[in-house]
Amino acid sequence: DSGVTQTPKHLITATGQRVTLRCSPRSGDLSVYWYQQSLDQGLQFLIQYYNGEERAKGNILERFSAQQFPDLHSELNLSSLELGDSALYFCASSSSGRIDEQFFGPGTRLTVL
């Protein structure tokens, strides 16, 4: 158990819908990262927050947005969902923002029908 929790574990929805994925980092970790792993791709970095502020942005679609709240939990919002958005979404946290100190959650599996 990494100490990072993600909810829900599974999510099934329809095209055009909007969903919110939630991540609670390890106690004390200030940095949160979001990754997407689709069927034919490796893990792709989406976005990083550090203590509530956006720190780095990767290949995140405009239909996706994220935020980190004062209690340090983070939410990833996916809207106007398409079939291709079906993937595993991982959250990771670290105390300092260093990449070699990231601890990953178990992921949320999103299925868009």
Partner 1 sequence: DQQVKQNSPSLSVQEGRISILNCDYTNSMFDYFLWYKKYPAEGPTFLISISSIKDKNEDGRFTVFLNKSAKHLSLHIVPSQPGDSAVYFCAASEGRNTPLVFGKGTRLSVIA
Nearer to partner 1, 15 or 59 (CB): 59
Nearer to partner 1, 74 or 102 (CB): 102
Residue 40 touching partner 1 (CB under 8 A): yes
Task: With H, G, I as helix, E, B as strand and everything else as coil, classify residue 91.
Answer: strand
Nearest distance from residue 19's CB to partner 1, in Å?
A: 19
CA pair distance 31, 74, nearest whole angstrom: 10
Among 28, 42, 53, 62, binds partner 1 (CB under 8 A): 42
Nearest distance from residue 104's CB to partner 1, in Å?
A: 3
Q: With contact defined as beta carbons under 8 Å apart, do 24 and 4 qualify?
A: yes
* C-alpha torsion sign, points 34, 78, 6, 90: negative
What distance separates the 2 farthest-apart alpha carbons in the chain? 38
Task: With H, G, I as helix, E, B as strand and everything else as coil, classify residue 112.
Answer: strand
Compute how many residues bind partner 1; rule: CB under 8 A: 26
Residue 4 touching partner 1 (CB under 8 A): yes
Task: With H, G, I as helix, E, B as strand and everything else as coil, classify residue 61.
Answer: coil
Among 20, 22, 45, 65, binds partner 1 (CB under 8 A): 45
Residue 44 touching partner 1 (CB under 8 A): yes
